[in-house]
Amino acid sequence: MIELTLLDYGVGNIHSLAKAFEAAGARVVVEADPRRAVAARALLLPGVGAFGKVAEMIAPVRAELRERLAGGLPAFCVCIGMQILHETSEEAAGDGLALLPGRVRRLGHRRLPHIGWNTVDHRGTGPFEGVPAGAHFYFVHSFAPSPCTEAVVATCDYGGRFAAASAEKNVWAVQFHPEKSSDAGRRVIGNFVRFAEGAA
């Protein structure tokens, strides 16, 4: 059984995400100290929070965490967890991990935040292996990365295209909330648990 360390940003409910990964066969350990999280065998960056606060929290371990991710640490990143992989964000000041290039930008839709179900266009590989084409996922966000980087494996349209998921070798990231996305979300979570078991 793979042990996943969930980094608790201290803002919001992480219970449902932990339970979803446990239901997929993982053991989840919640850790509020980013220094201890860096030493994890596999990492979960949850999806509740704001870019500036998360950037501030990880600042003391930013270089070390980036090095571990670049070196092969399996990680699954949700919503703000996906955004913090990038360089900066329009939402707030602060440096992301810069593991993925670019700046996170405000969505172009007149109605924000983007809350609810939306279809995701994906390649059927990596996180989306076994997920039907046109599957719906649940979103809660106002900012998102650009869909123009090589790591992007899925996109969504809400006032313009944005990156709905990226997979950079050992680091999988999704802008939606898989723990709230029914069967399709459970499949994505299960895919990562199996991947992490083989990689850790």
Q: Is 98 left (phi over 0), alpha (psi -120 to 50) or beta?
A: left
CB-based contacts of 148-154 (< 8 A; 24+ apart in sequence): 148/102, 149/100, 149/101, 149/102, 151/100, 153/122, 153/123, 153/125, 153/126, 153/127, 153/128, 154/120, 154/121, 154/122, 154/123, 154/127, 154/128
pLDDT in tens, 115-127: 999 999 998 999 9
Among residues 79, 86, 122, 141, the one annotated as catalytic is 79
The residue annotated as part of the active site, out of 31, 91, 168, 179, is 179
**pLDDT tens across 114-165, in order?**
999 999 999 899 999 999 999 999 999 999 999 988 999 999 999 999 999 9
Is 90 exceeded by the pLDDT of residue 111? yes
What percent of the chain shows pLDDT beyond 90? 92
Whether 156 is a known active-site residue: answer no
Instruction: Reply yes or no on whether the pLDDT at 78 is more than 80.
Output: yes
**Residue 177 a catalytic site member:** yes
pLDDT given at position 200: 63
Mean pLDDT value across the chain: 95
Instruction: Determine the structural domain holding residue 115 and report its residue range.
Output: 3-199
Nearest C-alpha neighbor of 73 from the set 199, 175, 198, 195: 199
Which tokens go with 97?
A: 């991990």
Q: Torsion angle, CA of 89/97/161/133, rounded to 10 degrees?
A: -150
Q: Distance (Å, rounded) from C-alpha 53 to C-alpha 23?
A: 29
pLDDT one-digit tens code per residue, 37-57: 999 999 999 988 899 999 999
Number of domains into which the chain is organized: 1
pLDDT of the residue at 29: 97
Consecutive H or E run containing 156 = strand 152-157
Q: What CATH number is associated with residue 89?
A: 3.40.50.880
Catalytic residue among 86, 114, 122, 177: 177
Residue 48's pLDDT is 83
Report pTM: 0.96
Question: What is the rounded CA–CA span in Å between residue 200 and residue 197?
Answer: 6
Residue 148 designated active-site:
no
